[in-house]
Amino acid sequence: MELLIVTGMSGAGKTQALRNLEDIGYYCVDNLPPQLLAYLLDSDYESGMVREKTAVTVDIRSQVLLNRVDLIRAGLAEKGVETRILFLEAGDEAIRRRYKETRRLHPLIQHGKAQTLSEAIALEREQLQALKEMADVVIDTSNLQTKELRHCILNLFAPAGMETLNIEFVAFGFKYGILADADVVFDLRCLPNPYYDEKLRLMTGDDPEVRAYVMQGEDGPKLFEKLLDLLRFSIPLYRKEGKSRLVVGFGCTGGQHRSLAFAGMMQEALEKEYPGIQLICRDKDENRYEVSRR
């Protein structure tokens, strides 16, 4: 079992780092008092919910960690817990800029241990120096954008070969409303509508007959190839930008023929490159449709 303690300077990006760790399978707890670490892990064992990877953020307010980190790590090691420390660093100017942007108070000012931000930064840096020296990984976020910090976290802690971008292909009907959370929407109402063929009306885009109808002639295959080419080009760009979830909408009038046909065929075309794509029919008949993963 692994415990990752995420700590460092206030304003250096601990909360953002924790979100990224959660995306790659860590069970995350923000600002946990160190004396509760053992209790957290013990409760997992007792409940039968053993988590292989747990990450917690701890800040300057947790004096127990500063004074007893060696004892805490030793105690957890006896329980079979491997403990690592990730320390996030940032320069004084970067921290001052971030506090000015967020208009929040530094925790040492909140607790009356410093009067100015400069005093708080200097005192915090002094008190955390020993912890920084013990850290297994130190990241300086002074010049890192959010997406760059994400890349650092994923490169360091994501399992080898893990896909960090979750992709959803959603078939929907425009007559039931636009797909509000979509990043990309393809309107397929320009293609032949199987609804007007009585033999196909009660079928869905999963049926070969409906797919053949939608792909008849030259327009359907050409449109499919162009959209496929666009997705192959753009998906790596979304991943590079640090996006963790990509929702691609395929819309037609009712959401059960053209949209589902294209979404399903697109999933099949990309499954070797992106095996985790989830196929969803939003406007489903509860007796006919279900969420599927190929």
Of 101-110, 160-169, 240-249, give the lowest mean pLDDT range.
160-169
Domain span at residue 104 reads 2-157
Whether residue 174 sits in one domain with residue 142: no
Place of tokens 């890192």: 144
Query: At which of 157, 185, 211 does a domain end?
Result: 157
Mean pLDDT of 215-240: 95
Whether residue 270 sits in one domain with residue 221: yes
Distance separating alpha carbons of residues 203 and 213, to the nearest angstrom: 12
Query: Could you tell me which of 153, 185, 162, 164 has the C-alpha nearest to residue 250?
Result: 185
Distance separating alpha carbons of residues 58 and 62, to the nearest angstrom: 7
Question: How are strands ordered across the β-sheet holding 245-252?
Answer: 184-187, 245-252, 166-173, 278-281, 292-293
pLDDT digits (tens, 9 = 90+) for 60-118: 877 666 667 777 788 878 878 888 999 999 999 999 999 999 888 899 998 888 899 99
Whether residue 230 sits in one domain with residue 134: no
User: What is the value of pTM for the model shown?
Assistant: 0.66
Q: Could you tell me if 7 and 32 are in contact, meaning their C-beta atoms sit under 8 angstroms apart? A: no
Question: Residue 258's pLDDT is what?
Answer: 97
